Amino acid sequence: MSRGLPSPSIPFAVHGAVDEIELRSLGLSADDVTDFSASVNPFGPSPSVHEALRNVTLNRYPDRHCEALTRKVAEQHGVAIENVLVGNGASELLWLAALTILRPGDRALVLGPTYGEYVRACRIAEAEPVELRASESDRFRPDLASVAEDRASAVFLCNPNNPTGRLIPRDALADISSQRPDQTWIVDEAYQDYLASESSMICLEAPNILVVRSLTKAHALAALRVGYAIGPSGLIGAMREHQPPWSVNSMAQAAAVAALSDTAHLRATVDRLRREGGRMSDTLATGGWPILATDTPYFLVRVGDATGFRRELLGKGILVRDATSFGLPSWIRISPRRPKENDRFLAAMDDLR
């Protein structure tokens, strides 16, 4: 079955971060708001990134093969360059994966609650996305046994999860995915660098697992849009055929190489961020706010009416992620920032208790 034009009824996914149009409607600017809604490293990228950007030639086309960055990723993860595809952020790679793996009418499982682009990518590919939703009563632990029993041809999983921050252990995923070699797993590890210890699926080098990573989050390159996928060479090659030319600009490529080369900066800033996340969640819990235990610096807080609560905080110049779009209308997601900014947030929460 061939694909037609995408349906105009496919809704856009809701995302966090600053929305300039929304702020302007409220008489605010981005400078008036402290953003706790996007899980981007607030300590910024490695200093070597700025130096790399200064050396980019702006009147020259980008390397369409992203050769230097591809080699850097392959070297860092101990894989062949044929197993790596660099993309314009994780979202582009997720779309390429859906368009490559799924045929019209295919069933795809999405382990929810989770990032909205998985469902959108499946619908663009004219596949049938089905959410297998973990329950709040079970602390959002997914039912992995049901996945292996499902007839779905693909599974989309964010690990650690967005928005819950929960991590499924690598051994558990390896066991389930090996039971169905005909089922392709697309594992989004955008938040993997925020974990206390590495738990990536990349090392498995399994024939039915595609891992997608982002440099937006812990590496703080959100403005540049760059990520990469690692998987079987045949799948990577097929995804490359769907990718537009010059998808990743020269500044993003140079910045990514520099960021990946500075592991000391990454670990130092992530350690600080994890401490701040722990301090914030402990303080809120002591103050009576229900907190969901997490494996990441970001975490969920139950506030009642999440949409109204977000609006109240925005009036105080604080932006949080309303989790209603994840199907969690009672929760907001908090991504820690620098200590003084976090103190301001905690004071605002105390005022609203």
Q: What is the pLDDT confidence band of residue 13, given thresholds at 50, 70 and 90?
A: confident
Assign domain 20-44+264-352 one CATH number from 3.30.530.20, 3.40.50.300, 3.20.20.70, 3.90.1150.10.
3.90.1150.10
Q: What are the residue ranges spanned by the domains of the chain?
A: 20-44+264-352, 49-261
Q: What does the pLDDT read at residue 4? A: 58
Which tens digit of pLDDT belongs to each residue from 117-148? 999 999 999 999 999 999 998 889 999 989 98
What's at 152, amino acid-wise? A
Looking at the predicted structure, is the pLDDT value of residue 275 above 70?
Answer: yes
Q: What does the pLDDT read at residue 5? A: 56
The candidate with the shortest Cα–Cα distance to 123, out of 151, 110, 104, is 104
> The tokens of 286 are what?
């002591």
Alpha carbon distance 237, 126 (integer Å)? 21
Taking residues 229-258, report their average pLDDT: 97
**In the predicted model, what is the mean pLDDT of the chain?**
95
Alpha carbon distance 255, 90 (integer Å)? 16
Q: What is the CATH number of domain 49-261?
A: 3.40.640.10
Q: What is the 3-state secondary structure (H, E, C) of 227-255?
A: EEEECCHHHHHHHHHHCCCCCCCHHHHHH
User: Hunting for tokens 């955008």 — which residue is that?
Assistant: 190
What pTM was estimated for this model as a whole?
0.95
Do 132 and 146 meet the contact criterion of CB atoms below 8 Å apart? yes
Which tens digit of pLDDT belongs to each residue from 300-320? 999 999 999 999 999 999 999
The candidate with the shortest Cα–Cα distance to 68, out of 235, 279, 256, 246, is 256
Do 217 and 190 meet the contact criterion of CB atoms below 8 Å apart? yes
Q: What does the pLDDT read at residue 36? A: 98
